[in-house]
Amino acid sequence: MAKKRILSGMRPTGKLHLGHYVGALENWIKLQDEYDSYHLIADYHVLTTDLSTDDIYNNTIEMVIDWLACGLDPNKSPFFRQSQIKEHAELFLIFSMLITKARLERNPTLKEQVRDLNIENIVYGHLGYPVLQAADILLYKGEAVPVGEDQVPHIEITREIARRFNNQYGEVFPEPEALLSNFARLPGLDGNAKMSKSLGNTILLSDEPDTVNQKLRKAVTDPLKVRKNDPGRPEICLVFTYHKKFNPEETDEIEKNCRSGSLGCVECKSKCADKINLFLEPIIEKRKFYENNIEQVKEILTEGERKAKVTASATMEEVRSKMKLG
């Protein structure tokens, strides 16, 4: 039986952090054998919130290096930039006729972004963010999309657009489903629910041990645990969440000792930093290899874009034929 098709995507904002790993990459890597995957670099999507294009290429390369360093395999699944495959723009235009402005204004992910970034007057392309995302997914006939919670509304919009197209012009597209990662998102070092570059509360996949130690030392913990022997509340502590992810064997003990007050934050953080450093060690090593072989990274992109183009143009042929355009 043919493998199911996955389309996964990320905006290239530079070096990736642990939140990207836990919320997305880890899942992508797990799924790459079981599914026929395509990995999209959503460089056009970056423009919805940042018009400067000076760093996009560099950020793309940094992101691809992190993908490779974590174990995503370009021989199994192509890596490609949205901007290099013109069919994305073409399908986006057609899809923009199949959804109303009111529907897009109801998108909760958009509302959250408008609030967080203090956007006063939204640009047309930003409102259409999920329409471009629908084109990204459906151009490759993605049947499953591994995403975090915040992207689920976009997958719902994708399904609506697929249905609308199929009803109007004939069956072309599957209705993709969201594959949620089983670990809830990783909190930031400042206690914010989300690790995010714009909040400056991240641990990068490329952070060296010294940096990780320093960052953790400054991490926010339970504000009521002021002295070492004060009892702490692991359930509200971000360091405890990191332990759950990167130090599962010791979680029970840490929980008990934090609550009783026998374990202080300094020691707990240092244990946590050690575990994170252990996890990052092989990633940093592979990263260095690719940093020294940038040509190879660029070739991986070129090859991925060649493969993606074949699939994308076949879908567009089908779309044009169903629409009797051409």
Tokens of 270: 């240092």
Distances (CA, A) of 35 to 8, 88, 250: 11, 22, 33
Binding mask 153-172 for ligand TRP (x = CB under 6 A): -x------------------
* Residue 36, φ and ψ in degrees, nearest 5: -90, 105
Given the rule CB under 6 A, which of 114-122, 146-154, 191-199, 257-265 is the region that contacts ligand TRP?
146-154
151 contacts ligand TRP (rule: CB under 6 A): yes
- The residue count for the chain: 326
Q: How far apart are CA 23 and CA 38, in angstroms?
A: 17
**8 forms part of the interface with ligand TRP (CB under 6 A):** yes
| 55 membership: H or E segment, kind and range | none
| Residue number with CB closer to ligand TRP (47 or 220) | 47
Strand ranges (E), 148-239: 177-180
Answer yes or no whether residue 40 interacts with ligand TRP by CB under 6 A. yes
137 binds ligand TRP (CB under 6 A): yes
Q: Does 45 bind ligand TRP (CB under 6 A)?
A: yes
Give the 3-state secondary structure of residue 5.
strand
Member of 26, 136, 222, 305 binding ligand TRP (CB under 6 A): 136
Do the beta carbons of residue 157 and residue 107 sit within 8 Å?
yes
CB-closest chain residue to ligand TRP: 9
Pick the stretch among 5-13, 64-72, 84-92, 165-173 that binds ligand TRP (CB under 6 A): 5-13
Toward ligand TRP, which CB reaches closer, 45 or 185? Answer: 45
The reply to whether 133 sits near ligand TRP by the rule CB under 6 A is yes
**Considering only 144-152, 197-205, 240-248, 279-287, which stretch makes contact with ligand TRP by CB under 6 A?**
144-152
Largest CA distance in the chain: 75
- With CB under 6 A as the contact rule, the residue among 6, 7, 91, 161 that binds ligand TRP is 7
Is 26 near ligand TRP (CB under 6 A)? no
What are the distances in angstroms from CA 128 to CA 44, 99, 238, 273?
12, 10, 34, 41
- How far is it, in rounded angstroms, from Cα 184 to Cα 94? 35
Nearer to ligand TRP, 138 or 204 (CB): 138
User: 220-227: long-range contacts (C-beta < 8 A, 24 or more apart)?
Assistant: 220/189, 220/190, 220/191, 221/265, 221/268, 221/269, 225/258, 225/265, 227/264
Residues that bind ligand TRP (CB under 6 A): 7-11, 40, 42, 45, 133, 136-137, 145, 147, 151, 154
